[in-house]
């Protein structure tokens, strides 16, 4: 008998660490196998059953994994984020698209072996949207899933295409076969807003100005924000993001009316983030030095997202609005994290 597991790719990132912890804290935690380019950090290593150092582009490795385990659920987190992807667009395409395709193939193979669907959870992003200009951004109502899908970043294009690939493999794969049968992939995706974690600094994203502002202030370091003070986008505290992934994975299939759902918790401008950071860390040294390229990227993302479909279909509800995110989660946890340095 092959051991039933949950597979997490890109597990060493900030979402991965939180996901491992929250899955482990479940009443009946699954066995967890993780795959990442770097060996899993020591603080979460004891929480997983196997940690594999490897690449999602290595199809032999994926085949071995597929033959060794009965993979029930895949959380496919591995990706190059938006800023990194602009510097290495072809590498981003390889990792973000080819890597996802490899995982989707693996899921089809698994579903065939086990005779049961494989739940495939794919975090997508607000980066799939492309607002045409600042006037449209300022006047648009909260953007719902099917409008403004004109991403201006490689990462946004990759995420949008992979959402479609997931829907294709789940619903239309081998549609011209003599006897078409379902592929067995139960593909479910969420479009995250900018995520803010109290424990880890993000790397390579363009929404990073908000967490960077906080972490720099707590660490006693000056911070030059790379977008204008009025730049507004939706955000979410990390614990909500992790809970959303798990809740979507556990939602009954017949409740879901879409394969991709917007998620949001609160929208703030960079200045409003700075005000909250200054209120918590009065010595914070925050200046604004917008860089045109990254500014343009955030300007293309909606100021607000409409997540009513997720609320209606699977009961999504953020627990952290802006006040609670800063007062109960971000500020106390970040303060404790850097306390030894600033004491
Ligand atoms: C990024 O900035 O690339 C990500 C995202 C918005 O998906 N945080």
Please check whether residue 117 is in contact with residue 249, taking contact to mean a CB–CB distance below 8 angstroms. Answer: no
pLDDT of residue 251: 98
H or E, element range at 112: helix 99-114
In a domain, 222, yes or no: no
Give exposure, 98-126, as e/b (b: 16+ Cβ within 10 Å): ebbebbbbbbbbbbeeeeebbbbbbbbbb
Q: How far apart are CA 15 and CA 6, in angstroms?
A: 15
DSSP string, 46-69: GGSSEEEE--TT-HHHHHHHHHHE
- Nearest CA residue ID for atom 6, ligand 1: 194
Angle at 76 between CA 29 and CA 334, to 5 degrees: 70
Q: Is 12 domain-assigned?
A: yes
Structural domain for 13, as ranges = 3-197+235-266+303-320
Pocket of ligand 1 contains residue 119 by CB under 6 Å: no
Does residue 241 surpass a pLDDT of 70? yes
Is any atom of ligand 1 closer than 6 Å to the C-beta of 170?
A: no
Model pLDDT for residues 172-189, shown as the tens digit of each residue:
999 999 999 999 999 999
26 assigned to some structural domain: yes
Asked whether residue 325 is assigned to any structural domain, the reply reads no
Q: Pick the atom of ligand 1 nearest to 192's CA.
A: 7
Determine, yes or no, domain membership for 330.
Answer: no
* pTM of the predicted model as reported, rounded to 2 decimal places: 0.97
Q: Is 174 left (phi over 0), alpha (psi -120 to 50) or beta?
A: left
Cα-to-centroid distance, 163 and ligand 1 (Å)? 16
The preferred substitution site among 130, 158, 208 for testing ligand 1, maximizing ligand atoms within 8 Å of CB, is 208
User: How far is ligand 1, taken at its centre, from the CA of residue 80, in Å?
Assistant: 9
Alpha-carbon distances, residue 122 vs 119, 263, 279 (angstroms)? 10, 13, 36
Give percent of the chain with pLDDT exceeding 70.
99
Q: Read off the tokens for 308.
A: 């009513």
Number of domains, the chain: 1
User: What is the percent of the chain with per-residue pLDDT over 90, rounded to a whole number?
Assistant: 97
* 149, 160 contact by CB (below 8 A): yes
Residue 240 lies in a domain: yes
Taking residue 222's Cβ as centre, other Cβ atoms within 10 Å add up to 10
Residue 229 lies in a domain: no
Q: What are phi and psi of 150, to 5 degrees?
A: -130, 70
> CATH code at 176?
3.40.50.720
125-156 pLDDT, tens digit each: 999 999 999 999 999 999 999 999 999 999 99
In a domain, 21, yes or no: yes
Pocket test for ligand 1, best of 77, 84, 126 (most atoms within 8 A of CB): 126
Contacts of 192 (CB under 8 A, 6+ apart): 123, 124, 125, 126, 236, 241, 263
Distance of alpha carbon 315 from alpha carbon 187, whole angstroms: 18
Task: Give me the numbers of helices (H) and strands (E) for the chain, helices first please.
Answer: 14, 12
């Amino acid at each position: 008998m092959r051991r039933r597991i949950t597979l997490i790719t890109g597990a060493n990132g900030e979402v991965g660490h939180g996901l491992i912890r929250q899955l482990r804290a479940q009443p009946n935690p699954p066995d967890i196998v993780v795959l990442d380019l770097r060996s899993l950090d020591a603080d979460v290593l004891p929480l997983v059953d196997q940690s594999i150092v490897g690449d999602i582009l290595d199809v032999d490795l994926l085949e071995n994994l597929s033959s060794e385990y009965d993979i029930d659920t895949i959380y496919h987190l591995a990706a190059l984020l938006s800023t990194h992807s602009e510097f290495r667009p072809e590498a981003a395409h390889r990792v973000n698209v080819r890597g996802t395709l490899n995982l989707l193939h693996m899921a089809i193979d698994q579903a065939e072996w086990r005779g049961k669907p494989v739940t495939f959870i794919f975090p997508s992003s607000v980066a799939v949207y492309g607002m045409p200009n600042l006037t449209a951004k300022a006047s648009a109502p909260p953007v719902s899933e099917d409008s403004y899908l004109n991403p201006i970043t490689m990462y946004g294009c990759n995420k949008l295409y992979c959402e479609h690939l997931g829907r294709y493999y789940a619903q239309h794969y081998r549609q011209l076969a003599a006897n078409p049968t379902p592929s067995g992939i139960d593909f479910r995706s969420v479009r995250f807003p900018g995520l803010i974690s109290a424990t880890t600094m993000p790397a390579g994203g363009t929404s990073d100005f908000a967490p960077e502002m906080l972490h720099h202030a707590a660490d006693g370091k000056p911070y030059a924000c790379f977008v204008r003070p009025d730049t507004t986008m939706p955000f979410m505290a990390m614990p909500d993001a992790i809970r959303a992934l798990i809740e979507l994975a556990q939602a009954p299939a017949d409740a879901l009316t879409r394969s991709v759902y917007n998620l949001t918790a609160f929208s703030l401008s960079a200045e409003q983030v700075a005000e909250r950071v200054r209120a918590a860390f009065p010595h914070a040294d925050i200046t604004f030095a917008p860089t045109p390229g990254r500014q343009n990227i955030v300007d293309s993302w909606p100021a607000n997202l409409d997540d009513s479909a997720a609320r209606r279909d699977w009961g999504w509800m953020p627990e952290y609005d802006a006040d609670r995110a800063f007062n109960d989660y971000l500020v106390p946890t970040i303060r404790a994290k850097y306390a030894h340095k600033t004491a």
